[in-house]
Structure 1
Amino acid sequence: MKFNKVWLMLVLSLSFVLVLAACGGGDGDTGTDDESANDDNGEETVSGPQSGGTITAGMYSAPGHQFNPLFYSDAYEANILSFTHEQLVQLDQDLQWAPSLAESWEINEDYTEITFTLNDGITWQDGEPFTADDVVFTYETIMDEDYVAAGGVRTSYVVKLDTVEALDPQTVKFTYTESNVNAIFDASFYIVPKHIFGDVPLAEMPDHSASRRAGEVIGTGPYQLTDMLENEQYVLTAYEGYWQGTPYLDGITWRVIEQSVMPGLLESGEIDMIAEPNGVPAADFERVDALDNITTFVTQDFGYQYMGFKLHHRTADDVENGVIDPDNWIENEKLSDVRVRQAIVYAINREGIVNGLLFGMGDVLNAHFPAASWAFDEDAPEKYEYSPETAEALLDDAGYVDQNGDGFREDPDGNEWVLNLDYPTGNQVRERSAPIIVENLEAVGIKVDLRNPREAGPHFDMLEKDNTDWDLYLAGWSLSAADPDPSGIFLSTDAYNYTRWNDPHSDELIKKGVQAPEAFDQDYRREVYAEWAHYVSEQVPQVFLYSNTSNYAYNAKLQNVKEYPSTIYTDSHLWYLEQ
């Protein structure tokens, strides 16, 4: 095969290095003189980076129309933000923290303070200077008590944050309430402009034109969102004043396309790139990999697909007020028995989904950590091999039996027992797995109402707002490659705890995993996460389905693409089209 491949089963080792300072960063000039030469016919040719041209990238579902990093929620919106906005630091090819908006940083001995020095000469895409005040504003907004009520879900970045202060226009200091193992990661969120949002009431910020309207979304990144036809295409135009030098490409256009037509569009050159969040489907990969005009890159995904259990629902008042208080939650009795949840895992032929729908380009998952993570421990979680017989025995033991002879089980009180299943469009494998899951569950007597799929944006909006008739749902997580800390998803009080799992022991173990000073030892953390993974697999707050490979494809003429384990979007200002 011709693709540049990172071995699929390789467990990437992310060393936990206590770096007290990091230096580097761009000097503001990415341009090089084009070198001219003559070909065999005496005609002049150009080698090296050339400016000009645009590329068209495809994604399978439309963004949820939120382009303010403080409030975005889906991976399709992230496809835009990856080019328009930036962070203080970014991951390099070795999954170590490297400079971005910050040129360097220093951390005190007990990891309670981290001070960043910002790069000079950075401007927002409207020409205003970027300063430490923008960093302070971003983090103080997330810390605001009304942030969640306004629709924000990024609270995990500020759990241990005490203060963030601008020491001068180029220096910003984060102070934590205790030693913070993830101090750098917690300071790695996208930065938003204070001069745009500083006077906007927080509740109005998500619907502000600078959060939603092309031409008004302002970041520090190499490209600006300048035009869009909602649900169809999103146009990014090179920002000439970009602090690392004007991008070589004139722009990038994102088109929303159907997965089924993607190979043909790549072959014809109508689209130039398929990348995050789902890449090239495994069913199409061999065909795409054989195209002479396409370069492919395969790496192990840091995320996974799952079927969530809505174990609790928030009250209508809490949803309206943006409150996440487990003490107020209403238990979903249809899924309260752990034996029922375990039975559901046994009943689903996950290996069949991987082999049949992913063509073997993935792995069945039994815990939160995929193989790409250093926290992955194959032996830690319970293994749920496909076993309808075990599922039936567990359901019988829990008192869920077919009492009226219709082929479906009633609950222990003899009432009809139907589980609703909701899922989004956009990911063909996920869409095709939904009826397979229903078939598997009905084979053991569980009646499922498979509801019509929705676009990803509305699906996740309803999921976040805890619609009270939801029982089962399909979704996926794109996990951070920087650190495996699961607190942003699994802590009971976290906004992204969509299952509304309320388990004090799980919370205790998650917090133990980042407890200083012990957690400065990666072996300690690995042991804690193995214990947590085992516990989660026993309690089954969700069905871990599979982790697939990330199959990226891009035009062979597109040069300077950095094929990192976590993304191919790094330093997109250096991309150019070979003439």
Structure 2
Amino acid sequence: MLTALGTAAGAATIPDLTTGQQAGSDLSPRDGGTFTIGWGGTTAGVSPFNENTALNGLLVRQVYDQGVVLDPDSSAVQPWLFTDWELVDEGEAPAIEVTVRDDVTWHDGEAFTAADPVFTYEYLQTTDTQNVISRGNSKYIDGVEQTGTYEFRIELTEPIATWRQSLLRVAVLPEHIWSGVADPAQRDPLAEGGPIGTGAFTVASFDADAKTWVRLEPRADADETYPMPADVDFLADNPPYVDALEIRQYDSKSAVKTALLEGEVDAINTSLSYDEADRYRSNNCEVNVVESEEDGFQLAGFNTRRVPFDDKVFRQFLHKLWDDEYYINEVHSGTDAVAGDYLAPLPFSEYRPAEPDASAAEQFTLFRDSQGDFDVEAARAFLTDNAAAQHDYSFEETADGMRLRVNGEPFGAAHTDNDGTGDQGALTVLTTLPRFNPKQAEGIDRWIRNMELVGVPAEVSERGFGQLIDQVFSEQAFDTYTIGWTNLEPTLGYLNQIAGDGYGNPTGYRGADDLIRDAETTLDQSERTEAVKAALSRIYEDSPYMVFEYERLYQPLLEDWAGWVNNQGGIYNQFTYLNIHRPPEFEFQIRGANKGSKAPTINSGSNGRIPVRIPATESIDPATDIDVDTLRFGSRATVNGCGGATPVKSTVVNGSGDGGGDLLVHFETDATGFEPGDTVAKLAGRTTGGTPITATSSVDVK
């Protein structure tokens, strides 16, 4: 039972960054509303065969259900369309027996059966697509057979350690829709009523050229035909709750952030910098900033088909020219950014080697002299005096200063393309436009400067994200490139995709294939862990990639929403969009001022207190559900700016409704920020479970 509070009046206590919310809300979700996501930068189509972009992956997982999902807290495999699975006939060629749900229908009313996943696996093996199962992992599938109406069997070519995550987490396609489509790229995704899936949402509209790029609405029969798996405890009951999800396009990250601050969108696709997050939480409490660990990294990749990038020593040399100290301590000053090393995000600690060994740590530290300055001569000596070098390196004085020679030729002449043709000129770093990642652009500029100081002619070539993807991953036409990877599996099953024979490895590097294969095929968990660590260590030493940053995520959304689901990759995931909802409704009444008037009068010059009554309702019991210490009351501008009066006294009084009682809270008038002419009062706070709640009321401020 709440009694009197002894907190002093005055400036409000600004809430810390939110770090998570189980199922988003501790109270019953409120239905309705359109949750609008602002997307800055390149958008994609709505095809289920393009999950390699974050946006399309988001859409696909709302329309097409997966066989299994990963628990956002533990990363454990959880049932979704598949209810049971077992590895049988363990040996050189085991099999997986799977049971699917018997209570699911497709959006068009057709029944879902085991025939659909059987078709999906076979279709993805025989078409050139980028669905998560289609490349890399499909080599482990020897055949798929339906064994019952709701049962099927996957025959494997050999063991695969991550078979649950890698083979069962597939977006399942309807056989009756796709069986006659030979080339998925030629099918209009909006034909025949739009994408047909089993998911909670359907595509209501799609226009690649419109500001509202896509609108998703809950399937009409969601309450009856979209039952959730019984043992899923990270979502509230009976989602989805919104009337629609909308994605709106903006030209840049800055434009989409402006749209959020102006209330045009409810959430955005980009993470804030540490400084931005601090400003948002200090100056704009209409925005809730959720903090989480990144499940990815930022890296540079080197094209090992080209001279001199085919030489491990030259790649290590470039790695050592990256200035971690400058990038982390100056460019990212005051943030939680961490210098990178392995192809394993920091949260995946189980598989990360303890740290690079002493020689490797020195090997990939910027060349510095005894004063801590960049040591140009040491950098040159690393190439010219290195017995492990594959090429002969030297430096000569030219009109442009000291310049690197490779095998007796100037760098530009010795530098080849993928086919071995020389005279490719300066080293080129492909990167996205600076406006998309200005801090990374600063780090790359320093990197280029260091190359030039040593004597390596180098330049930056900027591309739109889609152009960069095509040039790097489709054409492999690059020297080095930068990109970020996210949504990576905690089991590190992605290693083959990024550093082996998967579609995510454009570098041509295959030096860790044996260790990656060991990690993929052993079924003993401890042996697999050691194999993963060995693969990570070798890739780090061979330097086909340079991981230069791990980040924390600061993701904003308006306080009008609750129900986000946080995981290692943040709150923008398939579960958040299922579970997002309005916070519970509550209201307040200002007592003792101008009774009977539609808008109670408040004297802004008063030194007294304003009593505010929060009545109990069916959806909220303020006596037990509201964290009184978090309440802030005042003018809308003051409360939105993270100010307002805090409670000086609170009392539970006999209430109306079905709750345990109303809550009467007193606030000092001079801390409210009210000014003559104000017409709106705002009360904001959090429930005892951390859900943000707000309410407004009309006032007449004198």
TM-score by shorter chain over 0.5: yes
Distance change >3 Å, CA 183–CA 302, structure 1 → 2: same
Give 2:53's aligned amino acid.
Answer: D
| Residue aligning to 1:439 | 449
| Residue aligning to 2:355 | 379
Q: 1:558 is paired with a residue of what secondary structure?
A: coil
Distance change >3 Å, CA 526–CA 64, structure 1 → 2: same
| Residue aligning to 1:361 | 336
Q: TM-score, normalised by structure 1?
A: 0.80
Give 2:461's aligned amino acid.
Answer: R
Structure 1 residue 557 displacement after superposition: 2.5
CA distance in 2, matches of 1:357, 1:265: 26
| Residue aligning to 1:465 | 474
1:496 paired with 2:504, answer yes
1:289 paired with 2:281, answer yes
CA distance in 2, matches of 1:343, 1:228: 48
1:556 paired with 2:551, answer no
Q: 1:49 aligns with which of 29, 40, 56?
A: 29
1:399-548 aligned at under 5 Å gives the runs: 399-407=393-401, 408-417=403-412, 418-425=426-433, 426-454=436-464, 456-468=465-477, 470-490=478-498, 492-503=500-511, 506-517=512-523, 520-522=524-526, 524-548=527-551
CA distance in 1, matches of 2:288, 2:467: 34
CA distance in 1, matches of 2:446, 2:456: 13
CA distance in 2, matches of 1:136, 1:54: 36
Residue deviations 1:121-143 (CA, integer Å, cap 9, x gap)? 32223333322222112211232
CA distance in 1, matches of 2:273, 2:331: 9
| Residue aligning to 2:383 | 395
| Residue aligning to 2:202 | 224
1:138 paired with 2:120, answer yes
Identity fraction in percent: 19
Residue deviations 1:156-187 (CA, integer Å, cap 9, x gap)? 23232222222223222222223332121121
CA distance in 1, matches of 2:476, 2:191: 28
Structure 1 residue 416 displacement after superposition: 4.2
> Larger radius of gyration, structure 1 or 2?
2
CA distance in 1, matches of 2:178, 2:81: 19
Q: 2:154 aligns with which of 174, 184, 193?
A: 174
Give 2:379's aligned amino acid.
Answer: A
Q: Check the 8 A contact 1:64/1:77 in 2, yes or no.
A: yes
Structure 1 residue 214 displacement after superposition: 11
Q: 1:393 is paired with a residue of what secondary structure?
A: helix
Distance change >3 Å, CA 488–CA 247, structure 1 → 2: same
Q: 1:452 is paired with a residue of what secondary structure?
A: strand
Q: 2:38 is paired with a residue of what secondary structure?
A: strand
Q: 2:482 is paired with a residue of what secondary structure?
A: strand
Distance change >3 Å, CA 531–CA 558, structure 1 → 2: same
CA distance in 2, matches of 1:368, 1:104: 32
Q: 1:514 is paired with a residue of what secondary structure?
A: helix
CA distance in 2, matches of 1:155, 1:393: 42
Distance change >3 Å, CA 63–CA 94, structure 1 → 2: same
Q: Check the 8 A contact 1:122/1:129 in 2, yes or no.
A: yes
| Residue aligning to 2:176 | 195
Aligned residues between the structures: 506
| Residue aligning to 1:157 | 137
Q: Check the 8 A contact 1:513/1:529 in 2, yes or no.
A: yes
Q: 2:469 is paired with a residue of what secondary structure?
A: helix
Q: Check the 8 A contact 1:249/1:575 in 2, yes or no.
A: yes
CA distance in 2, matches of 1:428, 1:540: 25
Structure 1 residue 540 displacement after superposition: 0.7
Distance change >3 Å, CA 558–CA 169, structure 1 → 2: farther
CA distance in 1, matches of 2:475, 2:131: 13
CA distance in 1, matches of 2:532, 2:476: 31
Residue deviations 1:483-515 (CA, integer Å, cap 9, x gap)? 113443245432221111133xx1111111133
Give 1:353's aligned amino acid.
Answer: Y
CA distance in 2, matches of 1:310, 1:107: 39
CA distance in 2, matches of 1:560, 1:462: 39
Give 2:180's aligned amino acid.
Answer: D
Q: 1:334 is paired with a residue of what secondary structure?
A: coil
CA distance in 1, matches of 2:262, 2:461: 36
Q: TM-score, normalised by structure 2?
A: 0.67
Q: 1:181 is paired with a residue of what secondary structure?
A: coil
| Residue aligning to 1:23 | none
User: Structure 2: any 5+ residue segments left out of the alignment?
Assistant: 1-14, 228-237, 368-373, 386-391, 413-425, 586-702
Q: 1:252 aligns with which of 240, 245, 250?
A: 245
Q: 2:107 aligns with which of 125, 129, 137?
A: 125
1:266 paired with 2:260, answer yes
Structure 1 residue 342 displacement after superposition: 0.8
Give 2:324's aligned amino acid.
Answer: R
1:88-99 aligned at under 5 Å gives the runs: 88-92=67-71, 93-99=73-79
Name whichever of 181-190 and 352-361 sits farther off. Answer: 352-361
CA distance in 2, matches of 1:102, 1:571: 21
CA distance in 2, matches of 1:120, 1:282: 47
CA distance in 2, matches of 1:448, 1:192: 47
Q: Check the 8 A contact 1:441/1:448 in 2, yes or no.
A: yes
1:307-346 aligned at under 5 Å gives the runs: 307-312=300-305, 332-346=306-320
Structure 1 residue 415 displacement after superposition: 2.6
Distance change >3 Å, CA 441–CA 225, structure 1 → 2: farther
CA distance in 2, matches of 1:287, 1:3: 11
Structure 1 residue 419 displacement after superposition: 0.8
Structure 1 residue 217 displacement after superposition: 2.5
CA distance in 2, matches of 1:364, 1:403: 34
Give 1:139's aligned amino acid.
Answer: Y
Q: 1:199 is paired with a residue of what secondary structure?
A: coil
Give 1:516's aligned amino acid.
Answer: T
Q: Check the 8 A contact 2:296/2:486 in 1, yes or no.
A: yes
Structure 1 residue 303 displacement after superposition: 0.8
Structure 1 residue 577 displacement after superposition: 1.4
